């Protein structure tokens, strides 16, 4: 069974963003550059390092964010990444961002 990653939050890193590291016990898998708010997170980028890509770690990170925040916004989604966000339940907004809003 694949081990789920641990998300470690670093608020307001040196570039002024919040950073979420995606870690396994033996290695860093990637990170998410974002802004965290009370019930919302805006994701500017999600990076999974090449040797860990295709193993579901990016999906696991997004699912954890969806469970912790009522609204998750994917900022300025590239055309090539739209399928990823759509499969995760996100809807395109008129401003070009994609949004997941937890029901209820």
**pTM reported for the whole predicted model:** 0.86
Count of beta carbons in the 10 Å neighbourhood of residue 46: 22
Residue with tokens 């954890």: 64
Mean pLDDT of 56-60: 90
The residue among 45 and 9 whose pLDDT is bigger is 45
Query: Under CATH, which architecture does the 6-101 domain have?
Result: 3-Layer(aba) Sandwich (3.40)
Mean pLDDT of 56-78: 93
| DSSP letter (8 states) at residue 15 | T
Residue 99 has pLDDT above 50, yes or no: yes
Burial status of residue 103 (CB atoms within 10 A of its CB: 0-12, 13-18, 19 or more)? exposed
Mean pLDDT of 68-83: 93
Contact at 8 Å (CB) between 17 and 34?
Answer: yes
Dmax (CA) of the chain = 41
Mean pLDDT of 50-78: 93
């Amino acid at each position: 069974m694949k081990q789920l990653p641990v998300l470690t939050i670093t608020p307001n890193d040196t570039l002024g963003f919040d950073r979420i590291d995606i870690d396994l016990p033996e290695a860093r898998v990637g990170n998410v550059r974002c802004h965290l708010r009370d019930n919302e997170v805006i994701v500017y980028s999600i990076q999974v390092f090449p040797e860990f890509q295709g193993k579901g770690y990016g999906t696991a990170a997004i699912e954890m964010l969806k469970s912790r925040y009522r609204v998750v916004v994917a900022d300025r989604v590239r055309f090539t990444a739209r399928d990823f966000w759509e499969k995760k339940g996100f809807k395109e907004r008129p401003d070009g961002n994609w949004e997941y809003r937890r029901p209820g």
